[in-house]
Amino acid sequence: MTEIPPADQGVPTTGDAGGVDGRLPTQGGDEADGRDHEAAYDVITTPVLVIGAGAAGARVAIELAESGLEPLVVGKRDYGDAHTTWAAGGINAALGSLDPEDNWPIHAADTLNEGHHLNDPEAVELTAKHMPDRIRELDEWGMSFARTDDGKINQRYFGAQSYRRTCFVGDRTGEVMLETLIDRAQALEIPYRENVMITRLLSDGTRVDGAVGFDMETGDGLLFRTDHVVLAAGGFSAAYRRHSSRDDENNGDAQALALEAGARLLDTEFVQFHPTGMVGERYGDEWDGRLVTEAVRGEGGRLYNAAGERFMERYSPDQMELDARDVVARAIAEEVREGRGTEHGGVYLDISHRDPEYIHERLPTMVDRFEGLGVDITAEPMEIGPTAHYTMGGVDIDFRTGETGVEGLYAVGEAVAGVHGANRLGGNSLAETVAIGKLVGDHVSEQVTAGDDAPTVTDGQRALAEREFRALADLAASDGNVAPRALLEDLGELLWNHAGILRDEEGLREGLERLAELRARTANLRVDGDRTSRSFEYAVDLSMSLIVAEVLLRTALERTESRGAHYRTDYPETDPAWRQNLIVTADESGLSLQRRGVAEPSEPVRAALEEGYELDYHHLE
């Protein structure tokens, strides 16, 4: 329904106070400036709004629909185009297809060990326990998992896992998984709106009444009125730009939206640097940082420095290339720093000792991609280096329900923190999306009452939305001389240089100073006119990324120890006193940081931890 908004009602609540520095859409949204920012906007009412159409959003929506509700799913790309499709290597579940000794407590123990015991044990256990059922369900829904000769779902090794636990579809696991979920969602006739960018949640800081955004194809404003919003909008490692395995869309929208709405963020200092990103100097800018799947190492890929040494023998003689991602990434960074890297600043990853037919069968995407770049990976090595890949930090939730502490706001998937602790076990993020997605969908469906179907829109809610629309209009009209894209690139360099693999106090403080300078430059943005332009999208992205960049730098500075993916050269040891989560909240006066102790795992997981399972790498030799 398109409506002409009524005269401005003022700003009745506090949630839109713009207390977090750098949020561009609130800047210049001055109601008294006399300019005509008013435009038609659509009002859409729905019992549940799911923001994000990756695996997490899709799985929540399926559960809601199966409970008889009709949620609305929105995503800022075409249907089926989410980062989930990029996941190549696989999804973890202790099925024991090849290693019958495997079970959920060992899966949980591996996850806690890899997360350096900063994970939320309940989140880990829920994921590990529910995954075998979620895999069987995906199988029933038609996901074409690789099979063993006797028809079981096949499982491969992945880094730092005690057993073969990673289910896969060649190296297209995420793509096939999202196709399967979308088929299911379409069979349930779940409505989906493509190319919608949410820019703000309607919140007074204690409860959420909907969300505001725009249609990226028409530029029209959109006001979604609902009592239940599920944030499934992904992580923030694309803030590292060219030093990232991610595309433009993983900018931290979920975390920025949640923080502004009054929710807490958790452990944002932990960014996983995947050891094997493509080295752009060699393969070209568009490939810079793009992932070479861990499955290459899972299938026996070996790492060599420029001198031809298999250097992991020095860093991890037992687990070698399949040690944890942080260990392998730091080893590569160290080799390059000490002059044993390639001329392009990487090292070599080689799988050519394996049979070409096997490589074609197990790694078809990698074979094709490199073939297109003139490299035959069945005969020669790839050139790789670490790349920002996954943000373990995110929205702080209760994993049984998805609740954020702000009434009506739930979160799930890569948007949240807790399952992965200080470092993510490969194959666990796809697992989290469906294991926790189902639980959250289940809980939200119980919260929806009959009257929620068509919630009314109050004057106060309209006023909040209109303030956002004016701010967006102002942003679109920015006629300075700084391209938003250029600032995003500068922000990526800043994060890589000051909050990269190796961090210290001086560098982090300097990073914060440079962030303030970068933020000052946003006063002079140039946006090419309308709200369908790429420059407008980048300007909105920038507003989100600036928030998460500040949170990231502040928390990385606060954590004076090294743990998992967070490595401080000035505090190289893990400090047991720091086995605490860092919580971030925001209000008008800025960000506040607090510590919270970590709970202990349950008895079966403690037993698995004590047993001390570990991958015997030499299985693979």
Ligand X SMILES: Cc1cc2nc3c(=O)[nH]c(=O)nc-3n(C[C@H](O)[C@H](O)[C@H](O)COP(=O)(O)OP(=O)(O)OC[C@H]3O[C@@H](n4cnc5c(N)ncnc54)[C@H](O)[C@@H]3O)c2cc1C
Nearest CB to ligand X, comparing residues 61 and 552: 61
Query: Using CB under 6 A, which of 44, 49, 50, 56 touches ligand X?
Result: 56
Site for ligand X in 548-607 (CB under 6 A): none
How many other CB atoms sit within 10 Å of the CB of residue 66? 14
Q: To the nearest whole angstrom, how small is the minimum distance from the Cβ of residue 256 to ligand X?
A: 9
- Near ligand X by CB under 6 A, which window of 8-16, 71-79, 333-341, 398-406? 71-79
* CA angle in degrees (0–180, nearest 5) for 530-535-538: 125
Nearest CB to ligand X, comparing residues 174 and 262: 174
Strands (E), 406-539: 409-411, 416-417
Residue 274 is among the residues annotated as catalytic for this protein: yes
DSSP 290: P
Catalytic residue among 37, 200, 264, 274: 274
Binding to ligand X by CB under 6 A, coded x per residue (else -) over 332-351, reads: --------------------
How far apart, in Å, are the Cα atoms of 62 and each of 18, 59, 441? 34, 5, 8
Strands (E), 351-465: 382-391, 394-396, 409-411, 416-417
Q: To the nearest whole angstrom, how small is the minimum distance from the Cβ of residue 289 to ligand X?
A: 10
Site for ligand X in 164-193 (CB under 6 A): 173-174
Residues that bind ligand X (rule: CB under 6 A) add up to a total of 44
Q: To the nearest whole angstrom, how small is the minimum distance from the Cβ of residue 293 to ligand X?
A: 6
Q: To the nearest whole angstrom, how small is the minimum distance from the Cβ of residue 440 to ligand X?
A: 11
Q: To the nearest whole angstrom, how small is the minimum distance from the Cβ of residue 592 to ligand X?
A: 24
Q: What is the Cβ-side half-sphere exposure of residue 273, based on CA atoms within 13 angstroms?
A: 28
Binding to ligand X by CB under 6 A, coded x per residue (else -) over 223-252, reads: ---------xxx----------xx--xx--
Residue labelled with tokens 């599920």: 230
DSSP 401: T
Query: Using CB under 6 A, which of 5, 29, 47, 54 touches ligand X?
Result: 54
Q: Coil, helix or strand for 235? A: coil
Q: Is 210 left (phi over 0), alpha (psi -120 to 50) or beta?
A: left
Site for ligand X in 72-111 (CB under 6 A): 74-77, 82-84, 86-91
Catalytic residue among 297, 420, 503, 566: 297
Q: To the nearest whole angstrom, how small is the minimum distance from the Cβ of residue 370 to ligand X?
A: 15
Report which residue type is found at 10. G
Site for ligand X in 409-468 (CB under 6 A): 413-415, 426-430, 433
How many other CB atoms sit within 10 Å of the CB of residue 263? 30
Residue 568 is among the residues annotated as catalytic for this protein: no
Site for ligand X in 369-408 (CB under 6 A): 390
SS3 labels along 541-586: HHHHHHHHHHHHHHHHHHCCCCECCECECCECCCCHHHCEEEEEEE
Tokens matching residue 586: 């925001």
Residue 159 in contact with residue 323, Cβ under 8 Å? yes
- Near ligand X by CB under 6 A, which window of 69-77, 131-139, 141-149, 455-463? 69-77
Nearest CB to ligand X, comparing residues 225 and 568: 225
**What string of DSSP letters covers 132-154?**
HHHHHHHHHTT----B-TTSPBP
Closest CA to 394 of 182, 50, 123, 125: 123
Q: What span, in angstroms and rounded, lies between the C-alpha atoms of 39 and 36?
A: 8
Using Cβ positions, the residue closest to ligand X within the complex turns out to be: 54
Site for ligand X in 243-302 (CB under 6 A): 245-246, 249-250, 253, 291
Q: To the nearest whole angstrom, how small is the minimum distance from the Cβ of residue 196 to ligand X?
A: 6
Query: Using CB under 6 A, which of 72, 197, 388, 615 touches ligand X?
Result: 197
Q: To the nearest whole angstrom, how small is the minimum distance from the Cβ of residue 55 to ligand X?
A: 5
Q: What span, in angstroms and rounded, lies between the C-alpha atoms of 243 and 279?
A: 9
- Near ligand X by CB under 6 A, which window of 70-78, 365-373, 590-598, 604-612? 70-78
Beta strands across the sheet bearing 91-92 = 91-92, 166-167, 155-156
Residues that bind ligand X (CB under 6 A): 51-57, 74-77, 82-84, 86-91, 173-174, 196-198, 232-234, 245-246, 249-250, 253, 291, 390, 413-415, 426-430, 433
Provide the annotated active-site residues. 274, 297
